[in-house]
Amino acid sequence: MKVLIADDDPLVAGALKVILEAQNDIEVAGVASNGEEAVSMAASLLPDVAVMDIRMDGMNGIEAASLILKEHKEIKILFLTTFLDDEYINQALNMGASGYILKQDSGTLPSAVRAVGGGQIVFGGRIVKKLPDLLNRKEQFDYDSYGISDKEKELIEMVAEGLSNKEISEKMFLGEGTVRNMMSSVLSKLDLRDRTQLACFYYQKIKP
Amino acid sequence: MKVLIADDDPLVAGALKVILEAQNDIEVAGVASNGEEAVSMAASLLPDVAVMDIRMDGMNGIEAASLILKEHKEIKILFLTTFLDDEYINQALNMGASGYILKQDSGTLPSAVRAVGGGQIVFGGRIVKKLPDLLNRKEQFDYDSYGISDKEKELIEMVAEGLSNKEISEKMFLGEGTVRNMMSSVLSKLDLRDRTQLACFYYQKIKP
DNA sequence: TATCTGAGATGACATTTGTCATTATCATTA
DNA sequence: TAATGATAATGACAAATGTCATCTCAGATA
């Protein structure tokens, strides 16, 4: 199995090479030290798997990988990263990467490379613990920073259920006019125009 | 590395055993033929990895796995399945499983087992192609069955962006009154009361 | 050809909605 | 005690919204 390594830190790149070459079924076809190099080497060497750092000077790993996949979608991309970074995980997934593991777990790199080469997808264990949170995120919205009170929060949730002012006023034991005033206040705090925009805001920003 | 196999089809279980025992670093500690057996054998054998079928008579793989994880969260669960089933994938992920691959890809099973044993997460390649869709699902809602036309569909999406009738009419090159009529029609088709409920419906049922 | 149909438009109408100024209460605080 | 501020309520008002009956018109259909 032919592997291309891309990392702008020569020490890391060297270490990865040593680890992978110790496996008798893995051959390190080349080592790139930045994104551009990775793209051109991938095109000439046609490795089975490209093991890439995400953070590199110049063209980063994500960009390089998507260029590689554009031309050779049979090459599997395995990202190595130092941090847990939600944004990168999402980008990598949507881009069609085959794996995303932490450098700290380099001991499991060979098996990850084999699994990826075999057409499977691999995530570092620590990353998976974050996946459910990524899927059903909730309540992370900071009402306070907008100066929104608990009552107003209630109101927002009722709007997001499609209730009218009258219905809300009954549920909250308030006058309908009061609810209208609260609504007005909430809308201006969030810089929105009407209750429908508030409902959209709720589903897009508060409980995505 | 100790592995427990659980599959209610003896043929499949046997085949898996053969495949895994051909690897000199993998030892098949036991073979369970249903969920209950898997739970008790996991408790007594304490394997590193449990390779489990999802569909089994009686207790299914998901239930069995969550029982195993409750007691021994260091045991990694690798699910084998015949089908691509969104619901199972989600359940498996949320449950804390370490892998989910197709039986058809049994050739890559050994590397998957090693990767999982090493603390990584593995998904079968065909499954990954569905992951982005699972994240930003869209368009799976059946507008037709409600008799909703393409134009009406557009309108719904614009309402879900918080646009007013006037803004929608400009975007669609229609009279504002026409938009109001379309709105009225859509609301009655979906049995809703106003545009805010329509926006809520959109985020809850159409693009959850 | 005559008819039917559906998309688009209009105008009238009752409601709902959001804004604003004002007032009333009540608890806290200076 | 008096001032303050938060909470709740009113009334007035303009704008937006949803419903309905009706009209036009082009294209399909008999």
Q: What is the CATH number of the domain that holds B72?
A: 3.40.50.2300
Round and report the angstrom distance from CA (B183) to C1' (C24): 42
For residues B165 and B131, state if they share a domain. Answer: no
Task: Say yes or no: B73 contacts chain A, CB-CB below 8 A.
Answer: no
The answer to whether the CB atoms of B127 and A115 lie below 8 A apart is no
**A142 vs B80, higher pLDDT:** B80
pLDDT at B194 (0 to 100) = 94
Say which of B108, B111, B196 has its CB closest to residue A195: B196
Q: What is the distance between the alpha carbons of residues A72 and A78, in angstroms, rounded to a whole number?
A: 15
- Out of B135, B152, B185, a domain closes at B135
For residues A100 and A154, state if they share a domain. Answer: no
CB B6 within 8 A of CB B32: yes
- Out of A135, A167, A194, a domain closes at A135
* CATH, residue A167: 1.10.10.10
Assign A95 a pLDDT band (cuts: 50, 70, 90).
confident
Tell me the range of A4-18, A141-155, B111-125 where mean pLDDT is highest: A4-18
For residue B136, pLDDT beyond 60: no
For residue B135, pLDDT beyond 50: no
For residues B121 and B152, state if they share a domain. Answer: no
Residues of A in contact with B127 (CB under 8 A): 121
Round and report the angstrom distance from CA (B52) to C1' (D10): 67
For residues A149 and A95, state if they share a domain. Answer: no
pTM as predicted:
0.53
Assign B130 a pLDDT band (cuts: 50, 70, 90).
low
Task: Say yes or no: B208 contacts chain A, CB-CB below 8 A.
Answer: no
Residue A96: partners with Cβ closer than 8 Å, 6 or more residues away:
A66, A69, A73, A77
A194 touches strand C (CB under 7 A): yes
**A23 vs A81, higher pLDDT:** A23
pLDDT at A30 (0 to 100) = 95
pLDDT tens, position by position, B78-94: 998 876 566 677 677 76
pLDDT tens, position by position, B169-198: 999 989 999 999 999 999 999 989 999 999
- To test the contact with chain B by mutation, choose from A25, A84, A187, A196 the residue with the greatest count of B C-beta atoms within 10 A, namely A196
A193 secondary structure, DSSP code: -
For residues A88 and A170, state if they share a domain. Answer: no
pLDDT tens, position by position, B40-88: 999 999 999 999 998 888 888 888 999 999 889 899 999 988 765 666 7
A200 touches strand C (CB under 7 A): no
Round and report the angstrom distance from CA (B166) to C1' (D8): 34
For residues A125 and A152, state if they share a domain. Answer: no
pLDDT at A203 (0 to 100) = 92
pLDDT at A180 (0 to 100) = 94
Task: Say yes or no: A93 contacts chain B, CB-CB below 8 A.
Answer: yes
Of A135, A54, A42, give the one whose Cα is nearest residue A97.
A54
CA distance A99 to chain B (A): 9
The answer to whether the CB atoms of B120 and A111 lie below 8 A apart is yes
Q: What is the mean pLDDT of chain B?
A: 86
pLDDT at B177 (0 to 100) = 92
pLDDT tens, position by position, A184-205: 999 989 989 999 999 999 998 8
For residues B95 and B162, state if they share a domain. Answer: no
Type of residue numbered A115: A
For residues B26 and B107, state if they share a domain. Answer: yes
- Out of A80, A113, A135, a domain closes at A135
Instruction: Provide the phi-psi class of B139: left if phi over 0, else alpha when psi is between -120 and 50, else beta.
Output: left
Whole-number Cα distances in Å, A6 to A16, A17, A49, A51, A125: 10, 10, 11, 6, 22
Q: Please tell me the total count of domains within chain A.
A: 2
For residue A85, pLDDT beyond 80: no
For residues A101 and A163, state if they share a domain. Answer: no
Beta bridge partners of B102: B81
Q: Which domain holds residue B202?
A: 144-206
pLDDT at B143 (0 to 100) = 83
Assign A58 a pLDDT band (cuts: 50, 70, 90).
confident
pLDDT at A55 (0 to 100) = 84
Nearest C-alpha in A relative to B125: A120
For residue A125, pLDDT beyond 70: no
Say which of A120, A194, A200 has its CB closest to residue B123: A120
For residues B168 and B95, state if they share a domain. Answer: no
For residues B21 and B58, state if they share a domain. Answer: yes
pLDDT at B138 (0 to 100) = 42
Structure tokens at A26: 């893995």
Based on the number of CB atoms within 10 Å of its own CB, is B138 exposed (0-12), middle (13-18) or buried (19 or more)?
Answer: exposed
Chain D positions with an atom below 7 A of a protein C-beta are 7-12, 16-21
What 3-state class would DSSP assign to A205? helix
Annotate chain B with DSSP letters as a single string: -EEEEE-S-HHHHHHHHHHHHTSTT-EEEEEESSHHHHHHHHHHH--SEEEEES--SSS-HHHHHHHHHHH-TTSEEEEEESS--HHHHHHHHHHT-SEEEEGGGGGGHHHHHHHHHTT-EEE-HHHHTTHHHHHT--S-S-SGGGT--HHHHHHHHHHTTT--HHHHHHHHT--HHHHHHHHHHHHHHHT--SHHHHHHHIIIII--
Round and report the angstrom distance from CA (A137) to C1' (D5): 37
**Share of residues in chain B with pLDDT > 90 (%):** 50
